[in-house]
A and B are shown apart, each in its own frame.
Chain A
Amino acid sequence: MANDSKFTNQKFKLVGTRVMRPDGVDKVTGRARYGADASAPGQLVGAILRSPHAHATIRKIDTQKAEKLKGVKAVITSADLPDFTGGEGELYNVLENCMARGRALYDGHAVAAVAAVDAETARRALKLIKVDYKVLPHVTDVDEAMKPGAPVVQPVVKTKDKKAGPTNVANVTTYGHGDVDAGFGKADIIIEKSYKTEQVHQGYIEPHACLASVGPDGHGELWVTTQGPFAYRNWCATLLGMEMSQLKVTSSEIGGGFGGKTHVWIEPIALALSRKANRPVKLVMSREEVFRASGPTSPTSIDVRLGATRDGRIVAADAAMRYGNGAFPGIWGEVGAMAAWACYDIENVRSVGYEVLLNRPKVAAYRAPSAPMAAFAVESTVTLMAEALGMDPVEFRLKNAAREGTRASYGPTYGPIGIVPTLEAVKKHPHMRARLGKNQGRGVACGFWFNFGGQTCADLIIDVDGTVGLSVGTVDVGGARASLSLIAAEELGIPYEEVRCNIADTASLGHNDMTDGSRGTFSSGMATIFAARDAIEQLRVRAAKAWGIDVKNVSWKDGKAIAKGKRKSLTLKEIAEASPNTGGPISGHSQVVADGAGVSFASHICDVEVDPETGGTKVVRYTVVQDAGKAVHPDYVEGQFQGGAAQGIGWALNEEYVYGKDGRLQNPGFLDYRIPVCSDLPFIDTQILEIPNPNHPYGIRGVGETSIVPPLAAIANAVSDAAGVRMTHVPMSPPRVLAAIKASRAEKAPTG
């Protein structure tokens, strides 16, 4: 019972209600402390010198003048970060990405850092550091990087054919099943299309920030905005040659992450500066640094081939998916290839992912990483096929949608899933019957995300007044404290207000994987249920002791221990008050690998209006339908749906990294990298479906990421409908839409 994760279909009293979040007052009064809001006695200010070149050999770094400047307490280069990683592999890449080691691999790559008494002195010191660069040829475009003769980003990376020279393709992975060629042979209609998406950034409003303190005794503390304090602790300790237990990492409130705070950038540098200066060091990225030198998502180039029979059945599907990884190898093409066809039941299916190296920043996760671009290419082609068949795009999707028992293109066989219910809901939604005006168009698209469970640990303490402290190790990125408190209160049978959820530091709780993969509420929810059940076991023991009966005759219901017979039940509060005399403190604990994160599906509807004179697009109506498994706190589930849609709208219409011919990022600021503002968007309608996850006691699935998967395609389908021309390049910014309209007019115009 205690650690049984099977769904039980209980009737909830609290889960599913819209309670106030416990961290709310702090966040509306300015009291909540984020990464840059902490300070320490004797604190110094850190600053980082970054490469102005996209690709260069670093011949020499002269730091002497900077070191002599009054008020400078430490200057470091990669020489101060000796390699403890063995010189290869992902950890070495993390080390080299944090600070260049003999070569700068992208515009913004860190080269040296200083710690000084104030920001102005630190800035002046950076100017005194002289770096001798030998500039090398660079490449920033995915397709260019794959051409023979392209500048090579990482000479150590070779193709599997050892005789061939170095390459920018770090890995190739293939997923699928059936006989794709034979499948296309059966098709009545085949559609082939190529797509491109530009690189975008998570755009969290809070830049990376930390406060590091390391003493000569080897003990250290790090206060940092992160999605994963345990992962940060492990990386930082390893890279600095410290013992993990000697470094305590505390996650601040986090001002947005979306995957971008799952990776260390400035933190090892701050710790190295602190160690050298023997003073606490605060290091905060500027917005320009965030754009140039954190971890945006991949730019992509994707070819899709889809074959169907006249009756509307997809018989073959194939995709070649080239994902830019930045300067270091990653898994982004592979994840894209896995996600590409996951919505459909296809007999003959293949997807091939290419990991392409570029002189751009090391790519990090961005909300359902790699899936939105894959969905853009696939869902655009699916709509094209429906048009070619003369079928309704929703009906065509329904006819080919994956169901329980379908073997997914990436391997597993699905349990109960939500793709068909979301499409059925779309079909019935009033949005689908709303009239479209002049220059307006409508698009529909589906999206999939795997979701993740992972290592999770929770402590639940019963205080002597009968209230409850819950400690979890997954950072609260947007209301999880409220959801987890609801779950603890539900399981124990006490009021929500009597639970206080605390996000533990790395010294106070066992390892927890990061808040990523939409796992926060799913996995910490599971750990919370198990910790509560552990506490209930002890509460029953104490009650049995008080009654002098066997514990097996004591049950727990509605926050009370109940004995067989006519004894008056004992409330949690009564048992807690008596605890000093019945055996001491009562607490529950759980540690799990939370398997069985249920996959997630969504279908979105979007209406846009395209101005044919300017190519400008306005989203006029947007609807999100998504399966949540169980919405623990519906407000914050809706918020995830709306937020993901808004990010997708920005990606689809405006956002893009613009690199110059010199390989430098041209728009590292919110003025030129324009994310949607309040006046750009309509209200975003949401519909929560609840198809219980059989592998969670409450039926919960992750909800955070899937909402960003369909928008690129839904909007592309809508813009193409409105403009009368198929859009294949994201973002569909005004110049691109206008050029497409003009090209289409020229094509249609009578010649001569």
Chain B
Amino acid sequence: MKGIAVSTTVNGDAVEFVCDARETLLDVLRNHLGLTGAKEGCGTGDCGACSVLLDGQLVCSCLVLGAEVEGREIETVEGMADGDRLHPLQKRFLEHAALQCGVCTPGFLVAAKALLERNSNPSESEIRYALAGNLCRCTGYDKIVHAVHAAAGDLRRQQKARKKRKAAG
């Protein structure tokens, strides 16, 4: 086995690792970098539990090779909170009881963040289709959809307040 050296950015931090050519980004995150927030539910891109953002794009990290992320930016669930302040999606998931077992939650949070970054005011059906690549077996998705909808409102309000401050100052 000859390792491949990779330099990349994970949650804003410069990271270097050596991986086998066959290892996936998910293997690298979990086994080399100690970031076990992303889960392997299937290994075939069908469940979305391993969702991460790669240069802002939502991907299943089980379908990306570790060697492919040279020079790119990766964002995982571990990077969602701003210091000790939870991301509105994280807060709303808790408030709405949008998780039961919680194993799919990191993937849902990342996928929902990707949605809200491109669509700040999604309809119910837009939320449902944007999250259709993430499987949850506990909740029936009901409370997840409500939580994402509420977080979208929070983010819009935050943005409005930011704009107002900018205009004032």
> Taking beta carbons and an 8 Å cutoff, which residues of A are in contact with B?
18, 20-21, 23-25, 27-34, 36-37, 120, 202-207, 253-258, 284, 286-287, 477-479, 635-636, 638-640, 642-643, 645-647, 669-671, 675-681, 683-684
Contacts and interface: CB of A to CB of B under 8 A. Distances in A.
Given A635-B97, A636-B97, A683-B145, A29 B90 contact: yes
A639 B128 contact: no
A30 B100 contact: no
Given A20-B95, A21-B97, A36-B39, A27 B102 contact: yes
Interface of B: 1, 20, 22, 30, 35-44, 46-47, 49, 76-78, 80-81, 86, 90, 93-97, 99-106, 109, 125, 127-129, 131-145
A284 B106 CA distance: 20
Nearest to B131: A678
Contact of A253 (B103, B106, B125): B103
B103 A683 contact: no
Contact of A670 (B39, B44, B145): B44
Contact of B138 (A32, A33, A284, A639): A639
A256 B138 contact: yes
Given A258-B137, A678-B144, A679-B129, A30 B101 contact: no
B94 A21 contact: yes
B26 to A, nearest CB: 11
A206 B140 contact: no
Contacts of B22: 120
B47 A670 contact: yes
A207 B129 CA distance: 25
Given A205-B47, A253-B103, A683-B145, A34 B97 contact: no
Contacts of A635: 96-97, 143
B30 to A, nearest CB: 8
B89 to A, nearest CB: 8
Nearest to A674: B46
Contacts of A675: 135, 137
7 contacts: A120-B22, A203-B137, A206-B103, A253-B103, A255-B104, A256-B138, A640-B100
A255 B81 CA distance: 22
Contacts of B77: 28-30
A205 B100 contact: no
A204 B137 contact: yes
B44 A669 contact: yes
A30 B132 contact: no
Contacts of B1: 120
Nearest to B22: A120
Contact of B101 (A18, A33, A255, A676): A255
Contacts of B128: 678-679, 681
A257 B141 CA distance: 17
Given A287-B41, A677-B132, A678-B134, A28 B94 contact: yes
Given A639-B100, A643-B140, A30 B145 contact: no
Given A36-B40, A256-B103, 17 more contacts: A24-B93, A27-B99, A28-B90, A28-B105, A32-B102, A120-B1, A202-B137, A206-B39, A254-B101, A256-B137, A286-B43, A287-B43, A477-B100, A677-B131, A677-B133, A677-B135, A681-B128
A679 to B, nearest CB: 4
Given A29-B80, A204-B137, A34 B103 contact: yes
Contact of A479 (B100, B104, B136, B145): B100
Nearest to A27: B102
B140 A669 contact: no
Given A205-B135, A477-B100, A642-B142, A30 B94 contact: no
A607 B46 CA distance: 28
B139 A643 contact: yes
A205 B103 contact: yes
A287 B149 CA distance: 31
A679 B125 contact: yes
A683 B103 CA distance: 21
B132 A679 contact: yes
A646 B78 contact: no
Contacts of A205: 39, 41, 47, 49, 101, 103-104, 135-137
A30 B104 CA distance: 10
A284 B39 CA distance: 12
Contact of B35 (A30, A32, A253, A640): A30
The CB with the most chain A CB atoms within 10 A, among B46, B94, B135, B142, is that of B142
Contacts of A671: 44, 46
Given A28-B93, A636-B100, A678 B132 contact: yes
A681 B104 CA distance: 17
A34 B36 CA distance: 9
A27 to B, nearest CB: 4
Given A205-B47, A636-B100, A678-B145, A669 B42 contact: yes
Q: Which of A28, A202, A681 has the largest number of chain B CB atoms within 10 A?
A: A28
Contacts of B36: 30, 33-34, 36-37
Contacts of A643: 100, 137-140
Nearest to A202: B137
Nearest to B89: A28
